[in-house]
Homo-oligomer: A and B are copies of this chain.
């Protein structure tokens, strides 16, 4: 069987490397007599590369070669990835991608192209890098109704938060360190503002709940406003701050889905996920909480997930795997402020005691947080559990405080 790889960057070259290194066992597992990379599509030149003879610049060579049964898309970005992948699926080729932006924006449509042409469109590597998560959700948990899913889905922000929590490093210094280590890009916006995590929770929510969730329908908040004071107050509360993508089935058939910094309690599985690691918690009605942990990015982990999908395509030639979802109705994702949870609040105050007394009067019982060396010009507390819109209304009615930080407390 012949494979084409589109995009010879970090992941694409890793795919070729894994296919070469573990060639014999991969052929065996694919139940094919052979499994060979025939073309590598990239506009750049790679002089001296061992795979130079396979390099092409014209997509149509892949499209028109009937020997190419599986196409790997590791180009990233929406265009021309979308056009290339659509054409391949329509030409009866299975496609494997690691491109979360593509799946989050066009997954529903591409899955329907795959179904129409009885080929597979697989994207295990698009979420959680090397962590098996798409396939366990769609297969192993087939006997469960999934109620909820939550994950640390972005390694860059988790590294930054870990440095802030464990080394007392400021956000700026931690970001700089992440960039120096190659964990963050020069323009870190997609990571630190939560867009990357948003694409991933969209893919997971689409898969878990059966209808496409588009990134622009998901309230997304990054970690740029988290301060070391927040870290210290939350530590005093017994928790840690993590950037979580979360999605939950609501009783009315709609879903709740957000990406925000969130508090998880120490001792929980998600709390001990540090550095660039990712973890995804799936809450099933029969199975309870199941957590999948591993490297969420990196050349070889991601490549190994892509190759596992290639093997799956090889084994399922002419046989569409039952992964898919439909389009959602309007307003499928509910207003995030309807969710119920306790809120952590840090606010500037003029008169601490007066503010506390008014908070207690208007918001109800709160747990006041302090740490050694905290300022008397700010107050930090956690409210009782309540609907966010109502809690915010009450908080806004308190005079003499200026809210500087609001973080949701989770029950993970």
Report A's interface with B, CB cutoff 8 A. 18, 22, 25-26, 29, 31, 124, 130-132, 135-136, 139-145, 267-269, 271-274, 284-295, 298, 300-301, 303-308, 310-312, 315, 322
Does A290 lie within 8 Å of B131, measured CB to CB?
yes
Interchain CA distance A124-B135 in the complex, whole Å: 14
In the bound complex, residues from chain B placing their C-beta under 8 Å from that of A306 are 143
Max chain B CB contacts within 10 Å: which of A141, A142, A307, A312? Answer: A142
Does B294 lie within 8 Å of A291, measured CB to CB?
yes
Interchain CA distance A217-B298 in the complex, whole Å: 38
Interchain CA distance A267-B271 in the complex, whole Å: 10
Q: Looking at the assembled complex, report how far the CB atom of A328 sits from the nearest CB atom of chain B, in whole angstroms.
A: 18
Interchain CA distance A305-B141 in the complex, whole Å: 7
Q: Looking at the assembled complex, report how far the CB atom of A70 sits from the nearest CB atom of chain B, in whole angstroms.
A: 13
In the bound complex, residues from chain B placing their C-beta under 8 Å from that of A136 are 132, 135-136, 140
Q: Looking at the assembled complex, report how far the CB atom of A305 sits from the nearest CB atom of chain B, in whole angstroms.
A: 7
Contact A287 to B267, CB < 8 A, known contacts A135-B136, A136-B135: no
Q: Looking at the assembled complex, report how far the CB atom of A98 sits from the nearest CB atom of chain B, in whole angstroms.
A: 13
In the bound complex, residues from chain B placing their C-beta under 8 Å from that of A295 are 287-290
Interchain CA distance A272-B267 in the complex, whole Å: 6
Interchain CA distance A306-B25 in the complex, whole Å: 28
* Nearest opposing residue in chain B for A293, CB measure: B291
Max chain B CB contacts within 10 Å: which of A22, A131, A140, A295? Answer: A140
Given contacts A26-B143, A135-B139, A286-B304, 9 further A-B contacts (CB under 8 A): A22-B144, A22-B145, A131-B290, A135-B140, A143-B306, A143-B310, A285-B300, A288-B294, A290-B295
Does A303 lie within 8 Å of B288, measured CB to CB?
no
Interchain CA distance A18-B132 in the complex, whole Å: 24
In the bound complex, residues from chain B placing their C-beta under 8 Å from that of A298 are 288
Across the interface, A284 reaches (CB within 8 A) one of B274, B290, B304, namely: B304
The A interface is mostly helix, strand or loop, or mixed, namely mixed
Max chain B CB contacts within 10 Å: which of A22, A284, A292? Answer: A292
Q: Looking at the assembled complex, report how far the CB atom of A302 sits from the nearest CB atom of chain B, in whole angstroms.
A: 9
Top 6 A-B pairs, shortest CB-CB distance = A132-B140, A143-B307, A286-B304, A130-B287, A290-B294, A291-B293
Contact A143 to B293, CB < 8 A, known contacts A284-B304, A287-B130, A322-B29: no
In the bound complex, residues from chain B placing their C-beta under 8 Å from that of A145 are 22, 25
Q: Please, could you name 6 A-B residue pairs with CB atoms under 8 Å apart, sorted by A?
A: A22-B286, A132-B290, A136-B140, A139-B308, A271-B272, A315-B322
* Nearest opposing residue in chain B for A135, CB measure: B140
In the bound complex, residues from chain B placing their C-beta under 8 Å from that of A271 are 272
In the bound complex, residues from chain B placing their C-beta under 8 Å from that of A274 are 267
Interchain CA distance A268-B135 in the complex, whole Å: 25
Does B303 lie within 8 Å of A286, measured CB to CB?
yes
Max chain B CB contacts within 10 Å: which of A268, A306, A315? Answer: A315
Across the interface, A140 reaches (CB within 8 A) one of B18, B285, B291, B305, namely: B305
Interchain CA distance A145-B145 in the complex, whole Å: 32
In the bound complex, residues from chain B placing their C-beta under 8 Å from that of A26 are 142-143
Across the interface, A141 reaches (CB within 8 A) one of B285, B308, B315, namely: B308
Q: Looking at the assembled complex, report how far the CB atom of A183 sits from the nearest CB atom of chain B, in whole angstroms.
A: 15
Does B290 lie within 8 Å of A130, measured CB to CB?
yes
In the bound complex, residues from chain B placing their C-beta under 8 Å from that of A315 are 322
Across the interface, A308 reaches (CB within 8 A) one of B132, B142, B288, B307, namely: B142
In the bound complex, residues from chain B placing their C-beta under 8 Å from that of A300 are 285-288
Across the interface, A301 reaches (CB within 8 A) one of B22, B139, B286, namely: B286
